[in-house]
């Protein structure tokens, strides 16, 4: 992004964050009914890694949506005909904000958990993090704007499946010894 694109994009993102008042709702993985996973494609080795992520998450949660951002002009060939949601450069406006016509059905949904795998600090994924509704937003390492998420996980290995393993492990530990767990 150029300097002016970054400036305007960050202004729009800041305005969105000020308009939304959020409070974290920590929940155990057993309480989670839906997960949305945002993925920076530039850190994905191949499409099987995405399939493994979906399988892993589907083992805990029935409703799993995956949105992949690729900094390309066209969809990577190995994903043609796949069931994932994609954002590519033609789906973004000049300021790297998704165009209204590509916001899709997933924009109106609310999720229990939003997982943000964005090691490349891609602005469109930051924007989607602010835009999507979720009771708990989990990111990896340090995001540029800490107001985007409630729970940051520091992971040394920048691998999608490692991030998911660590996130599930933390979600398993939340409220593990609470009355909720004992009364179930």
Strand ranges of the sheet holding 110-117, from the earlier edge strand across to the other edge: 85-87, 63-69, 34-40, 110-117, 133-140, 151-153
How far, CA to CA in Å, does 73 sit from each of 3, 58, 68, 91? 21, 30, 14, 9
Identify the pLDDT of residue 47.
84
| pTM as predicted | 0.81
Q: 10 Å Cβ neighbour count for 94?
A: 11
Alpha helices in the chain (DSSP H): 3-19, 47-58, 123-131, 160-173, 179-183
Count of CB atoms situated within 10 Å of the CB of 86: 18
- Bridge partners (DSSP) of residue 98 are 92
Q: How far apart are CA 156 and CA 63, in angstroms?
A: 28
pLDDT digits (tens, 9 = 90+) for 31-57: 889 999 999 998 998 888 999 999 999
| Domain spanning 3-183, CATH class | alpha beta
pLDDT of residue 143: 61
pLDDT at 117: 94
Give residues with Cβ within 8 angstroms of 184, minimum separation 6. 30
Rounded to whole angstroms, how far apart are CA atoms 145 and 87?
Answer: 21
Print pLDDT tens along the chain (184 aa).
566 766 666 656 665 655 555 566 777 788 889 999 999 998 998 888 999 999 999 999 999 989 999 887 777 777 766 677 888 888 888 888 888 655 455 556 788 999 999 998 888 888 888 888 888 999 987 765 667 888 888 888 889 999 999 999 988 887 665 544 433 3
Residue-level pLDDT at 162: 94
**pLDDT given at position 167:** 92
Q: Can you tell me which residue has the tokens 């993090």?
A: 129
pLDDT score recorded for residue 155: 85
């Amino acid at each position: 992004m150029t300097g002016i694109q970054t400036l305007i994009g960050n202004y729009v993102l800041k305005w969105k964050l000020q308009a939304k008042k959020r409070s974290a709702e920590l929940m155990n993985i057993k309480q989670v009914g839906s997960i949305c996973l945002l993925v920076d494609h530039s850190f994905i080795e191949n499409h099987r890694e995405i399939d493994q992520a979906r399988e892993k998450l589907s083992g805990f949660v029935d409703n799993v949506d995956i949105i992949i951002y690729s900094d390309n002009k066209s969809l990577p060939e190995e994903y043609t005909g796949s069931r994932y949601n994609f954002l590519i450069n033609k789906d973004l406006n000049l300021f790297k904000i998704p165009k209204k016509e590509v916001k899709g059905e997933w924009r109106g949904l609310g999720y229990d958990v939003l997982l943000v795998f964005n090691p490349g600090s891609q602005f469109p994924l930051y924007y989607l993090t602010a835009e999507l509704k979720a009771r708990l937003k989990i990111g990896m390492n340090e995001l540029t704007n800490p107001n985007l998420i409630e729970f940051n996980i520091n992971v040394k290995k920048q691998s999608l499946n490692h991030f998911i393993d660590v996130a599930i492990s933390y979600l398993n530990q939340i409220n593990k010894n609470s009355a909720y767990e004992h009364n179930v």
